[in-house]
Amino acid sequence: MTGETYLSANEVGKTYGDVTALSDVSLDVPADAVTGLIGPNGSGKTTLLRVLLGLERPTGGTVEYGGPDAVRRLGYLPQRPTFRPGFTVRETIGFYADLVDDDPDRLLERVGLGDVADRPVDGLSGGMTRLLGIAQALAGDPPVVVLDEPASGLDPAMSELIFDVVASIADEGRAVALSSHELALVERTADRLAVLESGAVVTVDTPQALRERTGGPLHETFTSLLERESAVVTATEVGDA
């Protein structure tokens, strides 16, 4: 980790009508590191990633980019990447590469899809589609790469491969932010973890420091953190009543 912050959210809030998706969230995404977002479904992980990407406008707070100048500052892998049918893998990545003057073959080799370049995208497995999505996210060599659930719904071997690729992306000096429910893989890959609950960041720390809080594996820490958070919320509600 170089410690340089490429992307930061400062007291970000996001509401949809009466529903609060994010509340006063501050988070730094440093270079040369993987920042993992973990939390239960509906805790605001995807919304936070979309706000960091600029796809959602926050209702409060700011998001600042502090990375180097680049043709494309932010790379993005959506939760369920879907590509236009009727094209081969190479033609598909060629489209994105053309937009940023990149080499499609380099991008395919980077994620290990060089051998299936002529296969139609509609014939790819879920894991290969995800790898193609990562290749797309790397087009133009963006300093920040944001990955939303990069391994959800994949078999263990493919999930492991995806996380190996993710780790190597950060090793190239990029700032990587990802959300995931694959706690074992996140624990192994992430340098920092932010635990989200009900749209707020409960804590941010290294996986090792989080583990030491309970002395067990990360999922135990995760569960105890969320239970504690729920207890605080319940106590506050009782106190208010």
Partner 1 sequence: MTRADGFWTVFVREVRAAIRTRAYLGLLAVLAAALFGVARAGGGPAGGYVPTVVDLLVVVEVLVPTVAFAVGYRAIADPAARGELDVLETYPLPSWAYVGGVYAGRSAVLLTLVGLPLAALGVQVATTAGPETTVFASHRGVDSPLLYVRFLALTLWYALIALSLAFVLSALAGSRGRALVLALAGLLVVTVGGDVAVFAGLDGGLVTSETLGGALAMTPAGAYRGLVFDQVLYVAVPGRSAFVSGAVAVGSLLFWWVGSLVATELVTDTR
Query: Which residues contribute to the site for partner 1 (CB under 8 A)?
Result: 50, 53-55, 71-76, 78, 80-84, 86-87, 91, 95-96, 98-101, 136, 139-140, 142
Measured from the CB atom, is 30 or 78 closer to partner 1? 78
Contact 49, 180 (CB under 8 A): no
Task: State how far the Cα of 218 lies from the Cα of 228, in Å rounded to an integer.
Answer: 15
The helix (H) or strand (E) run that includes residue 179 is strand 175-179
Structure tokens belonging to residue 104: 């499609």
Measured from the CB atom, is 73 or 211 closer to partner 1? 73
Task: State how far the Cα of 137 lies from the Cα of 74, in Å rounded to an integer.
Answer: 8
Minimum distance from CB of 105 to partner 1 (Å)? 17
Measured from the CB atom, is 32 or 91 closer to partner 1? 91
- Please give the backbone phi and psi of residue 212, each rounded to the nearest 5 degrees, phi first: -65, -15
Minimum distance from CB of 175 to partner 1 (Å)? 14
Minimum distance from CB of 233 to partner 1 (Å)? 32
Minimum distance from CB of 226 to partner 1 (Å)? 29
Measured from the CB atom, is 121 or 225 closer to partner 1? 121
Kindly tell me the burial class for residue 70, based on how many C-beta atoms sit within 10 Å of its own C-beta (0-12, 13-18, 19 or more).
Answer: middle
